[in-house]
Each structure stands twice: as structure tokens, then as C-alpha cells.
């Protein structure tokens, strides 16, 4: 079991509370480059996805690699593609 601090409970896309999920263990730094989308990463080893009502498809969990934005509210690092903090739901940008 990972420590509870590694659990995320908010959607990084809309900030809504979702079923708890963990950080993805795999980096996907080339997401949104070369036309890649989240679908290119779904099902890959170490990739964590979760469900939220804001999207009809699975959403990618952030990971600890290639971190981009630090949440001013709780200090968690979120990938650049996150618009909300997965830990406290604060809007990042």
C-alpha cells in the first residue's frame, strides 16, 4: 500500500472529487506532442487512469516525473497538463 499522501482525490482536469487514485508510475512527457493523446498511454505499464464526470473517457493521473506546477495550496507537484491540484483541488492556472 502506498502512503496516503500519494493518494489523489480530485480530478486534475476539473477539480471535482473523484474516487481516490494514485500517481502514475510512468512518465508521459511527450503527451500533447506529436499529436499524442491520453489514449496513447492508456493501458501502458505503470500508467494510472481514473474516471470523472467531466470526461467520457479515462483520464490520466499525474506522475512524479517531469513535474511542472507546484500547487500554492498544498505544495504538491502536478504535471503541466493538470489545471487543478489532484490533492486539494485548487486551480493551478
Q: Which is nearer to Zn ion, 13 or 66 (CB)?
A: 13
The one among 13, 38, 66, 83 contacting Zn ion by CB under 5 A: 13
25: left (phi over 0), alpha (psi -120 to 50) or beta: alpha
Helix (H, G, I), strand (E, B) or coil at 37: coil
β strands within the chain, DSSP E: 7-10, 17-22, 49-50, 59-60, 69-70, 77-78
Q: Would you count residue 78 as binding Zn ion (CB under 5 A)?
A: no
Q: Which is nearer to Zn ion, 45 or 91 (CB)?
A: 91
Q: Which is nearer to Zn ion, 36 or 57 (CB)?
A: 57
CB of 93 to Zn ion, least distance (A): 13
Query: Where do contacts with Zn ion occur on this chain (CB under 5 A)?
Result: 11, 13-14, 16, 52, 54, 71, 73-74, 76, 85, 87-88, 90
Amino acid at each position: 500500500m502506498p502512503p496516503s499522501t500519494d493518494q489523489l482525490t480530485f480530478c486534475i482536469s476539473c477539480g471535482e472529487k473523484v474516487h481516490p487514485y494514485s500517481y502514475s508510475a510512468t512518465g508521459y512527457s511527450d503527451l500533447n506532442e506529436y499529436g499524442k493523446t491520453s489514449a496513447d498511454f492508456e493501458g501502458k505499464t505503470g500508467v494510472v487512469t481514473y474516471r470523472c464526470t467531466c470526461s467520457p473517457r479515462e483520464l490520466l493521473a499525474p506522475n512524479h516525473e517531469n513535474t511542472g506546477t507546484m500547487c500554492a495550496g498544498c505544495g504538491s507537484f502536478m504535471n503541466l497538463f493538470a489545471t487543478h491540484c489532484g490533492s486539494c483541488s485548487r486551480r493551478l492556472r
